[in-house]
Amino acid sequence: MTKQHILLGVSGGIAAFKSASLASLMVKGGYEVQVLMTEHATRFITPLTFQSLTKRAVVVDTFLEPNPAQIAHIQLADDALAYVIAPATANVVAKLAHGFADDMVTTTALAATCPLLIAPAMNVHMLAHPAVAANLRMLEERGAIVLQPAEGLLACGYTGKGRLPEPEDIFAVLQAVLARRQDLLGLKVLVTAGPTIEEIDPVRYITNASTGKMGYAIAAAAAARGAEVVLVSGPVTLAPPEGVKLRAVRSTEDMFVEVEKHFSTADVFVAAAAPADFRPKERLAGKWKKELGTPSIEWVRTPDVLKSMGERRTSHNQTLVGFAAETEDVLANGRRKLTSKHLDLLVVNDIQEEGSGFAVDTNHVTLLKANGDIKDFATMPKTAVADALWDEILAWRHRTR
Ligand code: CTP
């Protein structure tokens, strides 16, 4: 199997015949296309139709392993640029939402980390059913791109919402998704992530609850979309994202020094780290013994990395993005930080809200812009938040140029 193909999953609905046109558009667009079908789909349209259009054998049976050196669904998923499931029946939507993997279409979907586009098509009442609506919402919240079904005369005789969008429209969304993947090409991006550690003595230190997940997702998304990324990270347990230059640091001072090295050449600086704001004035050379009583520690301020960079931005082409984890007066505090740190954009989140903040995989953020605009996002996985933020950062750069 050659690398970098589009996966087209076809499930068993009458709209399956339209997927042949979609496959044909993909092939004409220059893409390698690998079709996966459910057993039910083969009742509506034959695999031979797709095979003839794509010049590749269609995969239906999960247990058919033509190459003993590979596991088909994993290989197919790993090499995919995008996975389009069209039509997606109510049954397949439910299986995707709940992680079922009992056929090739759904099993491969679980293994795929590429963008997932789902084009549901079904009867108008089925589409409106709370179970189907909830499943589609769940998929969207996990980052899948759900194409809205079109309105019109349905095969069941009803007129209403439920038609598979035209193949040209599905293909246009696919192309937009694929184009987005390289829209940061040529951009130099600097990201900070994670907590920092300030040592009290050789065994004791203070730190905070940051896990680095948001910053790592931002760095990973930027690299995946073509940017040159330097990630200055405090101590975390995450693996460095692919294609990112990692600079591991420990204290806020270390972070400052490392950021300073890369800031002047960065087009975008995203400060997602939670650096410690205070450190003990003196680090004790030996371990403080209990017999000596409670140590009285004098605290001093650490440098504000982001604010310092805001004060020394080299050109208006530099975009500075900060984060603010707040527990009260979220927007007012955020607005103050945006101004005092000389930022273009500030991402605020209420860390006491469920599904937001440290150590969780989702985040609910609000974006404050220097021109006074505010944009609130839905609670999404941090990976989806990262992509949405890059969309906003790009839009901001284009607007202010
Ligand atoms: N930040 C930084 N260096 C610091 C502290 C914060 O670069 N020493 C950055 C963070 O990465 C974040 C932004 O500043 O992008 C806001 O951090 P936050 O801790 O919310 O703000 P503080 O200015 O530290 O304000 P406070 O803790 O008083 O709320």
CA distance 388 to 401: 20
Q: Which atom of ligand 1 is nearest to the CA of 324?
A: 20
Using 50, 70 and 90 to split pLDDT, how confident is the model at 264? very high
- Highest average pLDDT, of 28-42, 148-162, 380-394, comes from 28-42
The answer to whether residue 69 scores a pLDDT higher than 80 is no
Mean pLDDT calculated for residue range 325-330 = 88
Does the C-beta of 302 come closer than 6 Å to ligand 1? Answer: yes
Looking at ligand 1, which atom is closest to the CA of residue 303?
8
Mean pLDDT of the region 254-283:
97
Question: Ligand 1 centroid vs 279 CA: distance in angstroms?
Answer: 14
CA of 387 to the centre of ligand 1 (A): 22
Say how many Å lie between the CA of residue 376 and the centre of ligand 1. 21
For ligand 1, whether the C-beta of 324 sits within 6 Å is yes
pLDDT of residue 128: 95
Average pLDDT of the segment spanning 341-356: 88
pLDDT > 80? residue 92: yes
Q: Is 157 exposed, middle or buried (0-12, 13-18, 19+ CB in 10 A)?
A: exposed
Q: What is the pLDDT of residues 102-139, one digit of tens each?
A: 999 999 999 998 999 999 999 999 999 999 999 999 99
- For CA atoms 262, 263, 268, 273, give the dihedral sign: positive
Does residue 363 contact residue 380 with C-beta atoms inside 8 Å?
yes
Q: Does the C-beta of 16 come closer than 6 Å to ligand 1?
A: no
Q: Is 234 in the pocket of ligand 1 (CB under 6 A)?
A: no
Which CATH code for domain 188-400?
3.40.50.10300
Residue bearing tokens 């905070």: 208
d(CA 270, CA 306): 9
Q: Model-level pTM? A: 0.70
Q: Which atom of ligand 1 is nearest to the CA of 252?
A: 8
Q: Is the CB of residue 85 less than 8 Å from the CB of residue 117? A: yes
User: Which segments of 47-79 are extended strands (E)?
Assistant: none
The yes-or-no verdict on residue 357 having pLDDT over 90 is no
Q: Distance (Å, rounded) from C-alpha 149 to C-alpha 296?
A: 65
Domain boundaries, the chain: 5-179, 188-400
Give catalytic status of residue 114 as yes or no.
Answer: no
Distance 240 CA to ligand 1 centre (A): 23
Q: Is the pLDDT of residue 255 over 90?
A: yes
Question: How far, in Å, is the centroid of ligand 1 from the Cα of 336?
Answer: 12
Count of positions (residues) in the chain: 401
Please identify which of the residues 64, 74, 156, 185 carries the catalytic annotation: 156
Q: At what angle do helices 90-98 and 104-111 cross, to 10 degrees?
A: 40
Q: Is the pLDDT score of 332 beyond 80?
A: yes
Ligand 1 neighbourhood includes 233 CB (under 6 angstroms): no
Q: Are 326 and 347 in contact (CB under 8 A)?
A: no
Residue that wins the pLDDT comparison between 260 and 63: 260
pLDDT at 158: 86
pLDDT band at 5 (very low <50, low <70, confident <90, very high): very high
* Residue 2 pLDDT: 44
Q: Find the angle CA(175)-CA(178)-CA(180) to the nearest 5 degrees.
A: 110
Q: Given this model, what pLDDT does residue 391 score?
A: 93
Residue 341 has pLDDT above 90, yes or no: yes
Q: How high is the pLDDT of residue 1?
A: 41
Mutate to test the pocket of ligand 1, among 210, 269, 277, 365 (most ligand atoms within 8 A of CB): 277
Q: Is 255 in the pocket of ligand 1 (CB under 6 A)?
A: no
* DSSP for 103-122, written as a single string: SHHHHHHHH--S-EEEEE--
Look up residue 289 and give its DSSP letter: P
Q: Are strands 366-369 and 374-376 parallel, antiparallel or unpaired?
A: antiparallel
Percent of the chain exceeding pLDDT 90 equals 75
Rounded to 10 deg, the angle between the 47-54 and 18-28 helix axes is: 10
Q: How far is the CA of 77 from the centre of ligand 1 (A)?
A: 39
Does the structure show a pLDDT above 70 at 159? yes
Bridge partners, residue 346, by sequence: 322, 368
Cβ–Cβ under 8 Å, residues 76 and 7: yes
Give the pLDDT mean for 4-27. 96
181 DSSP assignment? T
Mean pLDDT across the chain: 92
Measured at the CA of 296, the angle between CA 278 and CA 194, to 5 degrees, comes to 25
Task: Classify strands 150-153 and 228-233 as parallel, antiparallel or unpaired.
Answer: unpaired
**8 Å CB contact between 170 and 147:** yes
The pLDDT tens digits of the residues spanning 384-396 come to 899 999 999 999 9
Cβ of residue 20 lying under 6 Å from some atom of ligand 1: no
pLDDT digits (tens, 9 = 90+) for 300-323: 999 999 999 999 987 778 999 999
- Specify the higher pLDDT residue, 401 or 198: 198
Matching fold, domains 5-179 and 188-400 = yes
Give the distance (Å) from ligand 1 centre to CA of residue 65.
53
3-state class of 369 per DSSP? strand
Pocket test for ligand 1, best of 306, 313, 331, 335 (most atoms within 8 A of CB): 306
Q: Tell me how crowded residue 168 is: count the other CB atoms within 10 A of its CB.
A: 10
C-alpha to C-alpha distance for 318 and 316, rounded to whole angstroms: 5
User: How confident is the model at residue 400, as a pLDDT?
Assistant: 60
Nearest atom in ligand 1 to the alpha carbon of residue 333 is 29
Residue for token digits 């004791």? Answer: 204
Segment 31-38 mean pLDDT: 96
Compute the distance from residue 273 Cα to the ligand 1 centre, in Å. Answer: 8
Task: Tell me the fold of 5-179.
Answer: Rossmann fold (3.40.50)
Give the separation between CA 12 and CA 37, rounded to whole angstroms: 8
Q: Is the CB of 304 under 6 A from ligand 1?
A: yes
- Whole-angstrom distance, CA of residue 272 vs CA of residue 213: 9
280 Cβ closer than 6 Å to some ligand 1 atom: no
Percent of the chain with pLDDT strictly greater than 70? 99
Start-end of H helices in 281-343: 305-311, 330-340
What is the H or E stretch that residue 322 is in? strand 319-326
Mean pLDDT, rounded, for 231-236: 98
Mutate which of 218, 254, 258, 307 for ligand 1? The one with the most ligand atoms within 8 Å of its CB, which is 307
Please give the single-letter amino acid code of residue 116: L
The CA–CA distances, whole Å, from 15 to 155, 289, 309, 396 equal 8, 75, 55, 40
Task: Dig out the tokens for 97 from the structure.
Answer: 């939402």
For residue 104 and ligand 1, the question of a CB distance below 6 A is answered with no
Q: Which residue has the least CA distance to atom 17 on ligand 1?
A: 324
